[in-house]
Amino acid sequence: MPTAATADSSTPVSGRLRRWLRHELPQLLLFLGLILAARSTLANHYVVPSGSMQHTLEIGDRVVVDMRAYGVRLPLLGTELIATGQPQRGEVVVFDSPVDGERLIKRVAAVAGDRVRLQDGHLSINGQPLAVDATHEAFGVRQAPLDLDRGGGPDIDALTVPPGQLLMLGDHRGNSADGRYFGLIQASSVYGRAVAVYYRRGEGFGWRRL
């Protein structure tokens, strides 16, 4: 039978545990839930796994992704609650591959209604070449550096993008498994816009806007 001293010494410990379970644990769970919700609806990050977007993005780059750019989604479930915009030509975005669901990062090369031609890695939209020079294309105010060291990859001839869809291309045109292979994607499937590279191997932390 426990002595009075033993019983007295265990009471404060069990009392603190009950108070922690009753008051502090719910607050901790709420805090963790808010972090998860913020990651799902406000901002997230993406680690670039391949060289398909060189030299805009290099392998291993850490990229900040704005999750609110095109819609506010229900945390964890991904259901869109409020539409806040549409992906625009030239933006770098994150989306799920329609083939296997793998998360990809590519450039929006063409939007609904665009007439697309791609020859030797060089893009024309609605009859207008986007080339600034041999290694850069202009999407309005955005300029994309092209990497054509492996050629231009498959050509595209006389494609018109249907309503609600997008054509995604990598900037490393001869080394990118993009819309030329998996087809067009639904604009609604894009869940975030890449904002900036915040870490690059060999350079460390910084803020390289996209």
Mean pLDDT (10-residue bins), the chain, 210 residues:
44 68 60 43 77 96 91 56 81 94 95 98 97 94 94 96 98 97 94 93 93
Catalytic residue among 50, 52, 97, 189: 52
* CA 177 – CA 46 distance, rounded (Å): 18
Q: Give the per-residue pLDDT at 197.
A: 95
pLDDT at 175: 97
pLDDT, residue 203, reads 94
DSSP state of 154: S
**pLDDT at residue number 10:** 46
**Phi, psi (rounded to 5 degrees) for 189:** -85, -10
Predicted local confidence at residue 42, as pLDDT: 43
Considering only CA atoms, which of 121, 149, 151 is closest in space to residue 137?
121
Global confidence as pTM: 0.77
Instruction: Give me the pLDDT at residue 191, please.
Output: 83
Residue 83 is predicted with a pLDDT of: 63
Instruction: Give CA–CA dist 94/194, Å, rounded.
Output: 7
Q: How far is the CA of 101 from the CAs of 96, 98, 159, 163, 189, in angstroms?
A: 5, 6, 24, 22, 11
Judge whether 106 counts as a catalytic residue: yes
Task: Please classify residue 163 by burial: count the beta carbons closer than 10 Å to its beta carbon, then call 0-12 exposed, 13-18 middle and 19+ buried.
Answer: exposed
Please give the pLDDT value at position 27.
59
CATH number for the domain running over 43-209 = 2.10.109.10
Q: Which helix (H) or strand (E) holds 27?
A: helix 25-41
Instruction: Say which of 9, 14, 50, 106 is annotated catalytic.
Output: 106
